[in-house]
Structure 1
Amino acid sequence: MTDPTDPTDPTDPTGPRLEPLPADWQRALAVVAHPDDLEYGCAAAVADWTDAGKEVVYLLATRGEAGIDTVAPAECGPLREREQRAGAAVVGVSTVEFLGHRDGVVEYGTELRRDIAAAIRRHRPELVVTLNHRDTWGPAVGGAWNSPDHRAVGRATLDAVGDAGNRWIFPELLAGHGLEPWDGVRWVAVAGSPTPTHAVDATAGLERSVLSLLQHRGYLQVLTDRNPEVYCREFLVGAARAVAPRFGGVPAVAFELFPR
């Protein structure tokens, strides 16, 4: 049971006020493990950003090929990739890249850090977004254990931001691929964190976030036997409203912000 006095609960109305996420940037790179991670995590914020003319690129470590028990990976991977591209398009994201790491057994390490650092050098973002890298989802969901893929990708993303700016770490990125170091990342924003510090108003983007998640119909039909639209709307609207008491009463997407 959630302790309502626990300050790490992002839905606790008595917790510290969440500050507005900085908006003085133009390019963002969102790095997650699986198709649908961003749709569950922060698509309403992405819609708000692209509406403002900002550039957002999605980078996924896997194609989610192990995510549907009744569909073999060879068929599931392409299906989920198509669904992810469709979901991204709904919120104004046209560039979606996949690293090809194996779903379910993503390993934190230099290979993953190098792949993410290469993408940071290619796209030169000022803001990097990722998903909860901590062991659990925190008290708001009863301390549920986090996925090993989420933990690995989130931690590797936080580390790869530094790697991308250091020419002596992964020098092959410059020598072999012409990727100059990029030390221009100013913040890393972690969606789904049990200890959020900032938030983005979800009002304008909330309906499109629901439609974005609905693009993952192949996944949703095995995840729940509920009506997909009802399920997606209740989940996303409920999550945004739960953050509102800590953000001036405004439905929002919460992030833990790490400045650089």
Structure 2
Amino acid sequence: MELLAIVAHPDDADIFCGGTLAKHADRGDTVTIAHMTRGEYGGFDTDEATVAETREKETRRSGNELGATDVTFLGFEDGRIEYSLEDRLEIVETIRAHDPDVILTHFRDDMHPDHRATSRLVTDAYYMASLPLVDTEHDPCDPDNVYFFGKPTSSFEPTTFVDISGYEDRKAAAIDHHESQVEFLQEHGGIDAEFDNLIDGVAAEDATLGKRTGVASAEGFVPLHDQACDYLE
């Protein structure tokens, strides 16, 4: 089985679905994390290139922590992702290149404009990826489903839950690899992260979802197509 997480920024995958990705990787599934941007706005340096270089290195370490087969960057600009046909076709090509069974991405209702734009691009590209007359380098493919993750402060109400009990420390370690971003978000708590302490806040949210579903810790998703599952498949 192949999972493709398409996220706006470095650390998004770790925060929202890191436990799920690690659990699938441990099962032997192929896990790819595709980042729309290199997160060049998320830092203290005045030089975007320096921030991006630092964050890319941190992201590759965190991807390794989660067991990702591939960590890639799609070249969009942080804070400047826009919806266009050209960009949608680029995501179609990304999906076709990896031919995933399942796609994970942001929920449509989110404070961050990059998250909103990514959600719309991925959702529409998912439909277009299977159309034979949509011409890209790779052949058409037909993923089974898209699972959306989101922030508890939005209208996001998960209906599919993955038990990540036992993966809490690994998820925290993956987030902690984003050393420059953890420090940045702690200074901007309530704006970017909704948590004064990023790692503790994420763990608390996972524990809350776990209590709702009878496990120690869980991550929640909204599927594009409803179906029952033990894993995202």
- CA deviation string 1:144-200 (max 9, x = no partner): xx111000001111111111111222x1x1xxx2x11112x1110111161211010
* Other-structure match for 1:181: 140
1:149 aligns with 2:114: yes
* Other-structure match for 1:253: 219
Q: For residues 71 and 217 of structure 1, do their structure 2 counterparts lie closer, same or farther at Cα, with a shift above 3 Å needed? A: farther
- Which structure carries more relative contact order (alpha carbon 8 Å, separation 6+)? 1
SS at match of 1:167: coil
The 4+ residue runs of structure 1 with deviation greater than 2 A are: 230-233
Q: For residues 147 and 233 of structure 1, do their structure 2 counterparts lie closer, same or farther at Cα, with a shift above 3 Å needed? A: closer
* Other-structure match for 2:177: 215
Which is worse superposed, 191-200 or 54-63? 191-200
* Other-structure match for 1:115: 90
Does the 8 Å CA contact 2:103/2:146 hold for their aligned counterparts? yes
Inter-partner Cα distance in structure 2 for 1:255 and 1:151: 16
| Structure 2 gap ranges (5+) | 188-195, 227-233
Which is worse superposed, 71-80 or 26-35? 71-80
* Other-structure match for 1:6: none
Task: From the CA coordinates, give the structure whose radius of gyration is larger.
Answer: 1
Matches within 5 A, 1:17-166: 26-134=1-109, 136=110, 146-166=111-131
Does the 8 Å CA contact 2:163/2:210 hold for their aligned counterparts? no
Q: CA deviation at 1:232?
A: 4.4
Does the 8 Å CA contact 1:28/1:125 hold for their aligned counterparts? yes
User: What is the TM-score normalised by the length of structure 1?
Assistant: 0.78
Does the 8 Å CA contact 2:45/2:51 hold for their aligned counterparts? no
Does the 8 Å CA contact 1:48/1:204 hold for their aligned counterparts? no
Work out the percentage of aligned pairs sharing the same amino acid. 30
Aligned length: 215
Inter-partner Cα distance in structure 1 for 2:157 and 2:205: 15
Letter in 2 for 1:100: G
Inter-partner Cα distance in structure 2 for 1:232 and 1:111: 35
Which is worse superposed, 147-156 or 247-256? 247-256
* Other-structure match for 1:139: none
Pick one of 203, 206, 210 that aligns with 1:240. 206
Inter-partner Cα distance in structure 2 for 1:249 and 1:203: 7
Letter in 2 for 1:117: V
